[in-house]
Amino acid sequence: MRLQRFLRSNTSNKQEPLFAIVKNITGVSPNDLSLYKRVFTHTSMEETDASGKKINYERLEFLGDAVLNTIIAAYLFDSLPQNSEGSLTLMRSKIVRRDFLNTVGEHLGLIDHLASNVPQKNYGSNVHGNLFEALVGALYLDLGFERCSQFVFNHMITPFVDLDKLQHKVLSYKSLLVDWFQKKRLRYSFEVALDNGTENINHYSAKLLIDGKVVAKARAKNKKRAVEKVSKRAYFKFQDNIHSIQSKH
């Protein structure tokens, strides 16, 4: 049984505004508009179909995430024949990371067509990427893997993916440093403390210590950012020594 049968309801109508919207965004003519109605329906609408199933983009987002990972994996497998499994996995994570997908979804203007009962400021920061994944899921169910892949190539890979730049992109300076510390058997620790100063909004100061000595300091609005910021500063301090690890990635 093909996956397309699960959500298909044969509701395509070229006269409906949604048909033009989907074709304008994707470059292809949709068959089953009910799928794309789900893509552009926020959970706050609390809509259901005749069988009582919720109509929103969340389930399609789940499917689109898996399909997108497969498309990107196949693309990297063909494009980087010399890369190891670990390197390909890391490269894929750089492409399907949330902020990258948000950029693609925002560029496509998907949020402009989202039906919702809450203001945009309450959507959450990742709504653009979530909608993009949902659209990928809908295209897969509606038109199949090949045409869905072509959409991803045309609207994500070709305009946004630069493999040469991604090879050198660091996703987490903290992870890179910790890896280096462990390989060099260095004693390290991160210290984070509340540091508001004269400001009303909470800020946190972070320190990185190696063998008990402070090697970098940073400050940010939350603990995670403070630690990543101090790690980045330390990375550039030890960059020459870490270069061999970064090259392997």
pLDDT (mean) for 83-111: 93
pLDDT (mean) for 80-95: 90
- What is the set of domains in the chain, with CATH numbers? 3-166 (1.10.1520.10), 173-248 (3.30.160.20)
Q: Return the CA Rg of the chain.
A: 22
Q: What's the confidence (pLDDT) of residue 7?
A: 45
Tell me how far apart the alpha carbons of residues 46 and 38 are, in angstroms, rounded to a whole number: 11
Catalytic residues, which ones? 65, 133
pLDDT higher than threshold 70 for residue 214: yes
Closest among 110, 73, 67, 79 to 95, alpha carbons compared = 73
Say which residue, 15 or 114, is predicted with more confidence. 114
Residue range 121-139, pLDDT digits in tens: 888 889 999 999 999 999 9
Least confident interval from 175-184, 191-200, 219-228: 191-200
User: How would residue 4 be classed by pLDDT, with cut points 50, 70 and 90?
Assistant: very low
Q: What one-letter code names the amino acid at 226?
A: A
User: How would residue 199 be classed by pLDDT, with cut points 50, 70 and 90?
Assistant: low
Which whole-number Å values give the CA distances from 111 to 13, 124, 126, 174, in the listed order? 22, 12, 11, 33
